[in-house]
Amino acid sequence: MTYRLFTDMFERLQKKWNVTPGRLFLILVTFALGGSATGYLGKRIMPFLGIESPWLYVPVYIIVVTIIWPIMVLAVSIPFGQFNFFRAYIAKLGRRMSGKRTAANTAKTPRRPLPMHIAIFASGTGSNAQKLLEHFDTTYWLPGWQDEEQLGVIRLIVSNNPGAGVLEIAKEHGVPVLMLEKEKFFRGNAYVDELKEREIDLIILAGFLWKIPKPLIDAYPNRIINIHPALLPKYGGKGLYGRHVHEAIIKAGEKESGITIHYVDEHYDHGDHIFQEKVPVDPTDTPETLAKKVQQLEHAHFARVIKEVIEKQNRR
């Protein structure tokens, strides 16, 4: 019975934090050692405070260990390779203990839908993925807590390119990675089972170059969103991505370009539009300078539009 309770708790934490069993073990060891170090240091500090009253000793001791616990846990996490996890964990704990949510206002405010679990698909450097990671929470949040402003949680980075820069970005943020195998993606179930197992609600394509297969579209209707570096329906379709788009626009003598954020269907760059923004194409522009202009639009608007989409879907 005790063993079953322990394994159930272990599985719940692993699922909640979306980490491997090995990493969860290191996290729990860090918690234990950090707590022990906190208690030891707290007892060594107390004699220097000169508190003689037993009624005052306990509350002061609690305050002392509360202050030093984050420092000790972060220090212990470094040799175990879990510093990013605990930095995010402690930051979130601090936000949620800052008084933003109290029992009084919680009783009056209806509970919002849980944050959407997001998977980012990317094939390249990951500049858009980086911006999304800066705007949304990553995989770590405290069990049983709900942030009223937390619209989305990025739980997974998905890539088809083992050399993609986005993989390093995922590592820096401590976000798990799923690598796609071409045969399974196009002739299998398109990794639907793996995404559902991770409770993914929304897929964002941020420079992902493979066409999305029908099984994945059917599993996530109006839940797959792409950003394209042109004003669709012009300059979209197979082979028109990245530099190729900008070259085609300049060659055609277009006076403007921009971005299109849209839902994904079975065809390249074809789904319903969510948002467009324009930028002028100057006579002196090159594919490189035009790419920089378009990228500025992407970074300015992509995360904001995704948040608006999530808010609308949560209200349904």
Residues 69 and 132 in one domain: no
Are 66 and 199 in the same domain?
Answer: no
Q: Are residues 85 and 145 in the same domain?
A: no
Looking at the fold, whether 90 and 131 belong to one and the same domain comes out as: no
Residue 22 DSSP SS3? helix
> Is the same domain home to 245 and 172?
yes
For residue 279, what are the β-bridge partners?
Answer: 257
Work out the pLDDT band at 311, boundaries 50, 70, 90: confident
Tokens of 284: 């002196």
Confidence of residue 136 (pLDDT cuts 50, 70, 90): confident
Specify whether 259 is located in the same domain as 134: yes
Q: What is the pLDDT of residues 242-279, one digit of tens each?
A: 899 999 999 999 999 999 999 999 888 889 999 999 99
User: Is residue 190 included in any domain, yes or no?
Assistant: yes
> Would residue 111 count as lying in a domain?
no
What is the length of the chain? Answer: 316
In a domain, 102, yes or no: no
Catalytic residue, chosen from 117, 173, 228, 246, is 228
Lowest mean pLDDT among 54-58, 99-103, 150-154, 291-295: 99-103
CATH number, domain of 210, equals 3.40.50.170
With a CB cutoff of 8 Å and minimum separation 6, the contacts of 106 are: none
- 155 and 92 in one domain? no
pLDDT for res 191: 93
Q: Which pLDDT score, from 0 to 100, does residue 132 have?
A: 92
Q: Do 223 and 275 belong together in one domain?
A: yes
pLDDT in tens, 204-222: 999 999 999 999 999 999 9
Same domain for 276 and 128: yes
Q: Which residue has the higher pLDDT, 105 or 199?
A: 199
Residue 101, domain member (yes or no): no
51-108 pLDDT per residue, tens: 878 788 888 889 999 999 999 999 998 998 888 778 877 876 776 665 444 333 333 3
Q: Please give the order of strands across the beta sheet that includes 273-280.
A: 177-179, 152-159, 116-121, 202-205, 224-228, 256-263, 273-280
Candidate from 44-53, 135-144, 239-248 with smallest mean pLDDT: 135-144
Look at residue 121 and tell me if it is in a domain.
Answer: yes
pLDDT of residue 4: 62
User: Number of folded domains in the chain?
Assistant: 2
Residues 65 and 22 both lie in one domain? yes
Confidence of residue 5 (pLDDT cuts 50, 70, 90): low
Q: Are residues 69 and 136 in the same domain?
A: no
Bridge partners of 118?
Answer: 154, 202
The whole-model pTM stands at 0.66
- The stretches of the chain forming alpha helices (DSSP H) are 2-17, 21-49, 54-77, 83-96, 103-108, 127-135, 166-173, 182-187, 192-197, 214-219, 243-251, 287-315
Is 145 inside a domain boundary?
yes
Q: Which of 66, 96, 126 is the last residue of a domain?
A: 96
Report if residue 103 sits inside a domain. Answer: no
96, 127, 146 - which closes a domain:
96
Q: What is the CA radius of gyration of the chain?
A: 24
Is 167 inside a domain boundary? Answer: yes
Give the integer Cα–Cα distance in Å for 264 and 212.
8
- Could you confirm whether 299 is annotated as catalytic? no
Calculate the CA 90 to chain-centre distance.
Answer: 17
Residues of the domain holding 255:
116-315
Q: Is 84 exposed, middle or buried (0-12, 13-18, 19+ CB in 10 A)?
A: middle
Give the helix/strand (H/E) hosting 202. strand 202-205
C-alpha span between 222 and 152 (Å, rounded): 16
Last residue of a domain, which of 96, 129, 151? 96
